[in-house]
Chains A and B, each alone.
Chain A
Amino acid sequence: MKGLISLGAWFFDWLEAIGRAGIFLFQSLFRLPVRWGEAVNLLVRQLYSVGVLSLVIIIVSGTFIGMVLSLQGYSILAKFGSEDSVGQLLALSLLRELGPVVTALLFAGRAGSSLTAEIGLMKATEQLSSYEMMGVDPLRRVIAPRFIAGVICLPLLSMVFSAAGIIGGVLVSVGWLGVSDGSFWSLMQQSVYFDTDILNGLIKALVFAVAITWISVYQGYECVPTSEGIGKATTRTVVLGSLAVLALDFVLTAAMFGDF
């Protein structure tokens, strides 16, 4: 009985937290900027730190994952004499799953954690209060550009990741393992569909982007403003962000590709 009550209490706390996070997101996005030039400037700065600075890790990981996939795929497919299909395997796994998911996980670790820490530190050093005191809404000024930048960057990064993976895969399978150039591409093009594969992958990346960035900025904004509190919030961002990505990925995959 006691357990049931505490479970109920936990559930209500959880619902309340979700509600608070939802209101928080709503308020940051629907308070329009007063000075648009300034707002664009802030957004560019965030695109730089969220997107441009994540580019190297995304390209490098994408290339290596593409190379490894080709090696593994080749050695398995060769047993059935259909090593030409390695392009198909590579493209489908990158576009549907690995591109969006791995990019999102890297993004949670690289950009999400730094968003949380940055906002948490702004809170701890009273910079957020300071904006409020000056009659400037910190949600609009600090949170909104970071959120929007995250939502723009992750889908783009996921495209870059997949493209880097394909290029890495071509290098290994065509350049090194000797798969024929023509059948590599033609089998790939035959089995990859623009709408079901590329667009669905893009939709996944977009959903992950909203989830991770939302978690990151909210954790930063609501953290206990001490060094310990910021540390914990950062960890929570990475853990919750990654779990959210994996859970959402299952739901989205079932919805998109489930009707075989």
Chain B
Amino acid sequence: MLDVYIKVQNLSFSRGDRVIYEDVSLTIPRGKITAVMGPSGTGKTTLLRLIAAQLSPDGGEIQVDGQNVHTLSRSALYKVREKIGMLFQSGALFSDMTVFENVAFPLEEHTTLNANEIKKIVLEKLHSVGLRGAAALKPSELSGGMARRVALARAIALDPELVMFDEPFTGQDPISKGVLVELIRKLNAADAITSVLVSHDVEESLSIADHVCILAGGRVIAEGTPDQIRRSENAQVKQFLHGEPDGPVPFHYPEDLGLEQGGVSQ
């Protein structure tokens, strides 16, 4: 059996009245790339935040490397987070720092390296995302795709055990996309990093992932290797993979009945 790095058990979570997860269980194997896919708004970003314990579940538990992250003390949790790199969907670069300082920040905060060593690592990470020349720029001077690549460099600056990529490919041209795919693959090969990759890009994801989870409607509709997913006979999975508008996967956000009734009664 696979060596499990993250184990999600019977997870339930809702935002207000809207149930996002109901009794979801999934596993993320150690040292592998796991792709999490699903329609927009199903809660993929939410899942990443739950794993990092930025949100607390209503029920169930999440174990990261054997520790239930939601019962840890604050300082223990912060220790765990030092081992986690996260690429936010929006990049989330610190706007008051340059690109260089952004990437250097986690190193300065959590290591005792001297300025020269930090500089070496930062430039190397920026080089790997093709932005070594942009080190002196401010985040406001970057394009969306560049910002995301800088954020990626920052996420891997500390050589974390777990990296979570929230849609790294959006806004990248085919070349940078290829570079990023290569980078993610290389990260995994060299360091046995566990990666969680959230993406809509079906082909890209299936090509680099070792393990795939497809979420829809608050539950896991399929989990397995890319081959298993490709061969799946599940109608929902097929619809998602081939991007058909009609089928069992709801494309529309659930409508608020109260609003319609209110409209009718007036």
Direct contact, A vs B (beta carbon within 8 Å): yes
B23 within 8 A of A: no
A132 touches B108 (CB 8 A): no
From the candidates B80, B84, B92, B108, name the one contacting A130 in the complex (CB within 8 A). B92
A135 touches B81 (CB 8 A): yes
Q: Which residues of B (83-136) have their CB < 8 Å from a CB of A?
A: 84, 86, 88-90, 92-96, 105-106, 108-110
Given A126-B88, A135-B79: A38 touches B106 (CB 8 Å cut-off): no
From the candidates B82, B90, B105, name the one contacting A126 in the complex (CB within 8 A). B90
B90: chain A residues within 8 A (beta carbon): 125-126
From the candidates A125, A127, A129, name the one contacting B54 in the complex (CB within 8 A). A129
B78 within 8 A of A: yes
Q: How many residues of B contact A (CB 8 A)?
A: 23
A134: chain B residues within 8 A (beta carbon): 81-82, 105-106, 109-110
Nearest opposing residue in chain B for A130, CB measure: B92
CA of A136 to CA of B96 in the docked complex: distance in angstroms?
A: 16
Given A134-B82, A135-B82: A129 touches B109 (CB 8 Å cut-off): no
A5 within 8 A of B: no
A148 within 8 A of B: no
B92 touches A136 (CB 8 A): no
B109 touches A127 (CB 8 A): no
B78 touches A133 (CB 8 A): no
CA of A126 to CA of B88 in the docked complex: distance in angstroms?
A: 8
Nearest-neighbour CB distance to chain B for A54, whole angstroms, equals 19
B52 within 8 A of A: yes
A122: chain B residues within 8 A (beta carbon): 95
CA of A45 to CA of B96 in the docked complex: distance in angstroms?
A: 10
B52 touches A133 (CB 8 A): yes
Q: What are the interface flags for B128-168 relative to A under an 8 Å C-beta threshold, 1 for contact and 0 otherwise?
A: 00000000000000000000000000000000000000000
CA of A229 to CA of B67 in the docked complex: distance in angstroms?
A: 37
Nearest opposing residue in chain A for B84, CB measure: A133
Nearest-neighbour CB distance to chain B for A32, whole angstroms, equals 13
CA of A121 to CA of B95 in the docked complex: distance in angstroms?
A: 10
A222 within 8 A of B: no
Q: What are the interface flags for A30-52 relative to B under an 8 Å C-beta threshold, 1 for contact and 0 otherwise?
A: 00001100100000010000000
Nearest-neighbour CB distance to chain A for B95, whole angstroms, equals 7
A127 touches B108 (CB 8 A): no
CA of A91 to CA of B52 in the docked complex: distance in angstroms?
A: 58
Given A133-B52, A133-B84, A134-B82: A38 touches B95 (CB 8 Å cut-off): no
From the candidates B81, B95, B108, B110, name the one contacting A133 in the complex (CB within 8 A). B81
Nearest opposing residue in chain A for B166, CB measure: A126
CA of A130 to CA of B92 in the docked complex: distance in angstroms?
A: 6
A38 touches B108 (CB 8 A): yes
B82: chain A residues within 8 A (beta carbon): 134-135
From the candidates A45, A126, A135, A137, name the one contacting B92 in the complex (CB within 8 A). A126
B109 touches A133 (CB 8 A): no
Q: What are the interface flags for B220-240 relative to A under an 8 Å C-beta threshold, 1 for contact and 0 otherwise?
A: 000000000000000000000
CA of A59 to CA of B92 in the docked complex: distance in angstroms?
A: 38
Given A38-B108, A137-B78: A132 touches B92 (CB 8 Å cut-off): no
A125 touches B92 (CB 8 A): yes
Nearest-neighbour CB distance to chain B for A46, whole angstroms, equals 10
A132-B54, A134-B110 known; 20 other A-B pairs, CB under 8 Å?
A: A35-B108, A35-B109, A45-B96, A125-B90, A126-B92, A127-B94, A127-B95, A130-B86, A130-B92, A130-B94, A133-B52, A133-B54, A133-B84, A134-B81, A134-B106, A134-B109, A135-B79, A135-B81, A135-B82, A137-B78
For this complex, 14 residue pairs linking A to B, each with C-beta atoms less than 8 Å apart, are: A35-B109, A122-B95, A125-B92, A125-B95, A126-B88, A126-B92, A129-B92, A130-B86, A130-B92, A133-B52, A133-B88, A134-B105, A134-B110, A135-B81
Pairs of residues from A and B, 3 with the lowest C-beta to C-beta distance, nearest first: A126-B92, A135-B81, A135-B78
Contact surface of A with B, Cβ cutoff 8 Å: 34-35, 38, 45, 121-122, 125-127, 129-130, 132-137
